[in-house]
């Protein structure tokens, strides 16, 4: 998954870079959300992947209603 800078009043994107990588065989990320701390939550084949802007990615979490509710906040 990539992130970009939004410029020109929201009409253009620049400086794309890789934010996190979904492991091969885990499908295509879907249901992507960003929380208030800048973490990116994405549903993948192995569960809910949480990518951080910090140095260590968090392990995948199995889906549950409590996880999905927290991701939406």
Average pLDDT in the 58-73 region? 53
Beta strands in the chain (DSSP E): 2-7, 12-18, 30-34, 40-44, 47-51
What pTM was estimated for this model as a whole? Answer: 0.56
CA–CA separation, 44 and 42 (whole Å): 6
Q: What pLDDT shows up at residue 59?
A: 62
Structure confidence by residue, pLDDT tens digits, 45-65:
877 888 887 655 556 566 555
Q: What pLDDT shows up at residue 21?
A: 80
Q: What pLDDT shows up at residue 14?
A: 96
Portion of the chain with pLDDT greater than 90, in percent:
18
52: tokens are: 């951080």
* Torsion from C-alpha of 20, 67, 31, 41, nearest 10 degrees: -20
């Amino acid at each position: 998954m990539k992130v970009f800078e939004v410029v020109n009043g929201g009409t253009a994107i620049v400086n794309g870079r890789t934010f996190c990588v979904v492991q091969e065989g885990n499908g295509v990320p879907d249901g992507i959300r960003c929380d208030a701390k800048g973490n990116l939550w994405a549903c993948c084949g192995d569960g809910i992947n949480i990518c951080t802007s910090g140095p260590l990615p968090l392990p995948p979490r199995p889906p549950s209603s409590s996880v999905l509710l927290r991701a939406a906040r």
